[in-house]
Amino acid sequence: MTSQPGPRTAIIIVAAGRGTRIGGSVPKQWQDLAGQPVLAHTLNALRPLATGPLVLVLHPDDLARAVALGPGARIVTGGSSRTQSVRNALEALAESPPERVLIHDGARPLVSARLVGRVLDALEHSPGAAPALAVTDALWRGTAGLVRGTADRADLFRAQTPQGFRFDAILAAYRAHAGEAADDVEIARAAGLDVAIVEGEDDNIKLTWPADFDRAARLLRNRNKEALMDIRTGNGFDVHRFGPGTGCWLCGVLVPHERGLQGHSDADVGMHALSDAIYGALAMGDIGQHFPPSDPQWKGAASHIFLRHAADLARTQGFTLTHADVTLICERPKVGPHAHAMRAALADIMGLEVARVSVKATTSERLGFTGREEGIAALATATLVRP
C-alpha cells in the first residue's frame, strides 16, 4: 500500500553542496538535465507531495538562482556541511512544526511518488523510515589498484533518500547531535530512534559522476514517453430477461439452468457488456451500432463474434487490451463454479492471458428484477493502452 503525504508533512530538499566531483562551472544541482536544472526536476517530483512546507536549502551563493525555480518553496540558507544544512531547515520548521518530515537530496531528481509513499506508510509504525537497496555485488577491499581482500555483503544496504521521520523526534535528535554525520539516519540512530528500511528504487540515483547525467537523461526521456501513453478505460452494461430454455450463455460458457436468457443473439449478457466496454474505451459506439439488431443476419448470432470484433478493432487502432473485468448480477445460476472456464473463454476470444481477465458475480440481495430472478445484468470494464 502507498499513500500521499498526510496532514502537515514537510519536505526538505538539501541542495547547498558544491558538487565538485562532477565537474562543470556550476554545482551539479544547477547543471542542465534534459533542458532544466537538476534541482527543478527534484522540485517538480516532490512539490505535489508536500502537505506542509516545502523547504529548499541553498548555498548563500545560489540564492539568486532560486528565482528561476518558481514560487512555492521556502528558502533556507545552508551551512558548511549537509548536517548543518538539515539542522538549519529543521530549526526553521520548528516555528510551526509539522507532524512528519521528509529529507531529500536535491541531486536525486528521479524520486518517485511510489517511493515517497512507502516511506510515509512506514512512518505509521516507526519514528523513522528510509529507502535502501540491498547490496548484491561482491565487495572488495583494494589499494594501489589491486584487490587486497573481500568483505561480507550480508545485511548491507545502499542508502537513499528521502529519509522520513516524525518531526519532533528528528528535531530532538539533531539538537542532541554535536558532530557531523553521513546522513539523517545516522543521527536518528544515535538518538536511539528505530529506522525502518523500505524498498528503494534503482532509478532513484544520486548524480555524482558525469555518466550519471547521461543515465538520468535517458530515464527522464522514458518517463516522458510513458506519461504520453494513451490509456483508455471503458464501461459496459447489459441486461437480458429469462425465458424458456435449459441453460444460459454467460461469458462464453453454457451454464445449466432451468431457464435461458432471451435476446436477438445468444443473449450472452456478460460478453455483451464486455464488448460495449471495449467499444466505449475506443469511443466507437456500442454493439448495436456495429451489429444492428434490425439486421436479420445477427439473429441468434454467437456473442464471441461481437467480442472478437471489438478486440480486433482495438488492435487496429494501435491499442493493447491490458485488462478486462466482468461482474454478473444474479441470484441464480451460481457463477463461481464456472468462473475460471469463463475467464479462459473470454481470454481466448480476445487473445489475452487468463491472468488479465476477471469474472465475478454478486447478487442484488433479492431486490429488483435480478432479485426476483426475472433476468441477469452485467457490468464490465476494459482497459486499453496505446504507446
Q: What are the tens digits of pLDDT across the range 215-231?
A: 999 998 888 776 667 89
Which of 1 and 198 is assigned the larger pLDDT?
198
Q: What are the tens digits of pLDDT across the range 256-278?
A: 999 999 988 889 999 999 999 99
4 pLDDT above the threshold of 70: no
In a domain, 3, yes or no: no
Report the pLDDT value the prediction gives residue 226, as an integer from 0 to 100: 66
Which residue, of 207, 227, 247, is where some domain finishes? 227
- What value does the mean pLDDT take over residues 167-184? 96
Report the pLDDT value the prediction gives residue 156, as an integer from 0 to 100: 96
164, β-bridge pairs: 102, 129
The CATH number that applies at residue 111 is 3.90.550.10
Radius of gyration of the chain (CA): 29
11, β-bridge pairs: 54, 102
Same domain, yes or no: 191 and 320: no
The CATH number that applies at residue 239 is 3.30.1330.50
Same domain, yes or no: 171 and 46: yes
In a domain, 190, yes or no: yes
Which residue, of 197, 212, 227, is where some domain finishes? 227
Same domain, yes or no: 203 and 106: yes
Same domain, yes or no: 253 and 313: yes
Inter-residue contact 128 to 164 (CB < 8 Å): yes
Cell 526536476 belongs to residue: 41
Number of domains in the chain: 2
Give CA–CA dist 206/42, Å, rounded.
11
pTM above 0.75, yes or no: no
Please measure the distance between the N-terminal and C-terminal CA atoms of the chain and give it in whole angstroms.
Answer: 27
In a domain, 1, yes or no: no
Q: How far is CA 8 from CA 125, 163, 358, in A?
A: 17, 16, 39
Q: What are the tens digits of pLDDT across the range 8-46?
A: 899 999 999 986 667 778 889 999 998 899 999 999 899
- What value does the mean pLDDT take over residues 304-331? 93
- Per the structure, the complete domain to which residue 252 belongs is given by 230-386
In a domain, 216, yes or no: yes
386 pLDDT above the threshold of 90: no
Same domain, yes or no: 90 and 197: yes
- What value does the mean pLDDT take over residues 179-205? 96
Tally DSSP H helices, then E strands, for the chain: 11, 19
Report the pLDDT value the prediction gives residue 83, as an integer from 0 to 100: 97
- What value does the mean pLDDT take over residues 45-58? 91
In a domain, 2, yes or no: no
In a domain, 258, yes or no: yes
Mean pLDDT over the full length of the chain:
92
In a domain, 32, yes or no: yes
